[in-house]
Amino acid sequence: MFDRKQPAFERLVRAYSAELYRYAYWLCHDRFMAEDLVQETFTRAWGAWAGLREEAAARKWLYTILHNEHARLFERKRLDIVDDQDLDALEAEPSADSHRDIAMREALHALPESYREPLLLQVLGGFSCQEIASLMNMTEGAVMTRLSRARLALRRGISGRDSKQASA
């Protein structure tokens, strides 16, 4: 049994690891945490591989596992607080991104999580509204509403930043 399921799982890992990493990175904004999330996703997927009925559903299944792992991460996450850290000594690293890229990132981060996640699933993951609804346990109409509101908020956020920069 092990010999038959290993090549199929290896194909799955090769096919979806980069895509899952991009989604994980957008969720947590930390390269190393995203790598850990993807690794934990594949570890859990390997353990439950026998329960997967259709290999065609594997992509959605992996995204669901990753989403759940990310949620589990915040259930047990403890913030590290350093009392003797001098906040004036911290400097922001200069960014090579253009103003437009920075505005887009800020606008994305300003979105509520309930709007940002469906948008990222659609844009980065390429999921349909129906698939996103299934992943997030909501109706398709709710997903379409959130996507519409997310896009509107992004447009307003970026145009608002552009007009502020132009007047400055």
Q: Are residues 56 and 3 in the same domain?
A: yes
In a domain, residue 86? The reply is: no
Q: Are residues 167 and 108 in the same domain?
A: yes
Q: Are residues 54 and 114 in the same domain?
A: no
Q: What is the CATH number of the domain that holds 137?
A: 1.10.10.10
Q: Are residues 1 and 71 in the same domain?
A: yes
- pLDDT tens per residue across all 168 residues of the chain: 445 667 778 888 888 899 999 989 988 888 999 999 999 999 888 888 777 777 777 888 888 889 888 888 766 555 566 666 555 555 554 444 567 777 777 888 888 888 888 988 888 888 888 888 988 888 999 999 999 999 888 888 777 655 555 555
- Contacts from 71-75 at CB under 8 Å and sequence distance 24+? 73/28, 73/33, 73/37
In a domain, residue 164? The reply is: yes
In a domain, residue 22? The reply is: yes
Q: What is the CATH number of the domain that holds 53?
A: 1.10.1740.10
Side-chain half-sphere CA neighbours of 53 within 13 A: 0
For the whole model, what pTM was predicted?
0.50
* Contact between residue 121 and residue 23 where contact means Cβ atoms under 8 Å apart: yes
Domain membership of residue 50 as a residue range? 1-77
CA distance 157 to 168: 17
**At which residue do the structure tokens 């299944």 appear?**
61
In a domain, residue 83? The reply is: no
